[in-house]
A and B are shown apart, each in its own frame.
Chain A
């Protein structure tokens, strides 16, 4: 039997009577890369924030590694969160810290490892995202793409079991975007990480997706393998795929 790392049951979230997520259920298997498509404003970020426990749902349950996220006491929640990373849409680097301090921050505080190991990890992770030279820079000195990559480095440095990516490639040039997608794929292959990737970038999805979900009007409109969905004769899907493919 395959183990589910994330289980979402009947998740509903409203903001001021506006239903953003409407009775959504999703399971994510261990080691799976799940892509969530949806237009801007369709509630993708809200979905991820519900999963990690930053936003409290109105209804429904979310469990990660068998633990109900929204019922945990703060200490247990923090322990659970040590196994999870979240790459924010804006990267959310700590402005007042250097790149090095940004990467160190979760390691020093949550993991009992020696200074040398931390050093090695930082260098290794920066090499992985191709930014060894940026180690002593401040976030304000980095370009948008570099910030995203440092954000990615900060997310993976703790060797999490689950990573939630909020539009990891949006706003990047196609080459960087492809590189980041391949990096995400490698992480899954080598370290058996599980990811939920929210995006509207088809190229990224083609590289990493095991399974795809379409969010529309707060519901899951379609789900399945990318290749399957491409063959479905449906105006919405056809439109989505053809538009995006034109940009390729």
Chain B
């Protein structure tokens, strides 16, 4: 039997991809261990962390503002006819609130954050790597991992939950406007039914997982950027692959966390 050559070629590619995948998993693990080892060593570089948080906030503010509003707005529009069929439109605020708080708010914010931020970090650290700026820092007696990587991961971990809360708030505003356009509803009734519907058990898992998502975005961007090889072309690759990997990881981790939180609560 003659096996078409293309199959061998594909197999080779597959093997390469598998190695790549394993290398990434190993690398992310090493970076995680190193992060926790170094995060608590002095100096804490607090001013550097604050600088990164400011930058991240400014950078992502416009896009999450639009997204947050639209999530709530569209969700309300889409859900309304369905609830109307059962004569349950009164439940609309509660339904949108629960979906947004538990799942859509955290995950969509994290994915947008990954797209905007991990690519940026990947490119930034990547170009520092290929132009030897990281080496320069190293030989000047400053620990570049601490200064560049640890500070960025802390910043992304702390800022994403804040952005998520903001997105959830805006989504509720969007939801109210969508409802109010169709039929009059008092703000008071809306707020009451939202607050009544969301329990502590919804809010805590929803927002606390965003710490992990924020960590993933920082970690992947830093890992890809810090280990960039292959000149300017490598910088581009680091930037794009960090978005892909960070987004995939976010979705996988989300699935796992949802399963766990369903078991617990």
Which residues of A are interface residues toward B (Cβ below 8 A)? 49, 52-54, 74, 78-79, 81-82, 84-86, 88-90, 92-96, 105-106, 109-110, 158
Contacts and interface: CB of A to CB of B under 8 A. Distances in A.
A119 B137 CA distance: 21
A90 B127 CA distance: 13
B133 A105 contact: no
A79 B135 CA distance: 16
17 contacts: A52-B139, A54-B135, A78-B141, A78-B142, A81-B139, A82-B141, A90-B131, A90-B132, A92-B131, A92-B132, A92-B133, A94-B133, A95-B131, A95-B133, A105-B137, A109-B141, A158-B140
Interface of B: 124, 127-128, 131-133, 135-143
Q: Could you say which of B131, B132, B136, B142 has the most chain A C-beta atoms within 10 Å of its C-beta?
A: B136
Contact of A110 (B133, B138, B140): B140
Contact of A86 (B124, B127, B131, B139): B139
Contacts of B132: 88-90, 92
B139 A84 contact: yes
A93 to B, nearest CB: 7
B187 to A, nearest CB: 45
A238 B192 CA distance: 92
B128 A106 contact: no
Contacts of B143: 74, 78
B133 A81 contact: no
A109 B124 CA distance: 22
Nearest to A53: B139
A81 B143 CA distance: 11
B136 A81 contact: no
B127 A92 contact: no
Given A95-B127, A95-B128, A110 B142 contact: yes
A121 to B, nearest CB: 15
A178 B248 CA distance: 55
A84 B141 CA distance: 9
B125 to A, nearest CB: 11
A81 B144 CA distance: 14
Contacts of B133: 92-95
B142 A106 contact: yes
Q: Could you say which of A52, A84, A106 has the most chain B C-beta atoms within 10 Å of its C-beta?
A: A106
A82 B140 CA distance: 6
B197 to A, nearest CB: 46
Contact of A106 (B124, B127, B131, B141): B141
A109 B137 CA distance: 11
Contacts of A105: 137, 140, 142
Contacts of A52: 139
Given A95-B127, A95-B128, A81 B140 contact: yes
Nearest to A74: B143
A86 B139 CA distance: 7
Given A78-B141, A78-B143, A92-B132, 4 more contacts: A54-B139, A93-B133, A94-B137, A105-B142
A86 B141 CA distance: 11
**Across the A-B interface, the 6 shortest Cβ-Cβ residue pairs:** A92-B136, A92-B132, A81-B141, A78-B141, A106-B140, A86-B139
A85 B139 CA distance: 7
Q: Could you say which of A74, A92, A95, A96 has the most chain B C-beta atoms within 10 Å of its C-beta?
A: A92
A147 to B, nearest CB: 11
Contacts of A49: 135
Contacts of B124: 96
